[in-house]
Amino acid sequence: MRRVAIDMVTLDRRLEEELAKHASLKDFKVVLWRLDPDATGCNWNARVECVRGRRLNDCSWWDVVPQMRERFKLI
């Protein structure tokens, strides 16, 4: 699959949209950063923590970042 190139602001917004499908954005702490491309060609990563809310013990949102890393790269 070929990744779509997007800027950091757009990636941040898309990540927030995906997380909002699982819980309130206020329940998450999100950090995005750029890095050198890895073996798969992805050039960014993110750390997402659920810091409060009913999703603390629910892992349904855990695959959001890996799925997005497959679809997007930073320009």
Every domain of the chain and the residues it spans: 8-72
Backbone phi and psi for residue 58, each to the nearest 5 degrees, phi listed first: -110, 125
User: What pLDDT, in 10s, does the model give residues 35-72?
Assistant: 999 988 899 999 999 888 765 677 888 899 999 999 99
Q: What local confidence, expressed as pLDDT, does residue 5 receive?
A: 92
Q: What local confidence, expressed as pLDDT, does residue 50 receive?
A: 86
Q: What is the pTM of this model?
A: 0.81
Q: What local confidence, expressed as pLDDT, does residue 59 receive?
A: 82
Q: Which two tokens stand for residue 28?
A: 């998450």
Q: Which helix (H) or strand (E) holds 8?
A: helix 8-20
